Amino acid sequence: MATKKYISVNAENLIFELLTGAAANTNIAIANIKTTDELKMVVESDVSAGTLTDRLSTTTITSDGNIQCTADTATDKLIVIWRKKTVDA
């Protein structure tokens, strides 16, 4: 499932992304994320219920350019904050 990036802000190696969720265990594309980087926060925003759910423990960087969440977030948005551990040349 394609994701759509709405926001990208870089401050002190922290990258903030707002993404469209996906079915559980499905790649969600994040440009420039690497397996060597570190997820700092992943929050699922369920607008219809008005809730935020911490998904950090269920989300991993599965390959360069992709994360996956073991929870189904397909109808929601994900707020992802990650730290760049290395600087791209």
What pLDDT sits at residue 14?
Answer: 87
Residue 25 pLDDT greater than 70, yes or no? yes
How remote is the C-alpha of 19 from its chain's centroid? 7
Please report how many Cα atoms fall inside a 13 Å half-sphere around the Cα of residue 20, on the Cβ side. 7
- Residue 89: is its pLDDT beyond 70? no
For residue 1, pLDDT beyond 60: no
pTM of the full structure: 0.80
| CA–CA distance, 89 with 22 (Å, rounded to integer) | 31
Q: Does the pLDDT value for residue 11 go beyond 80?
A: no
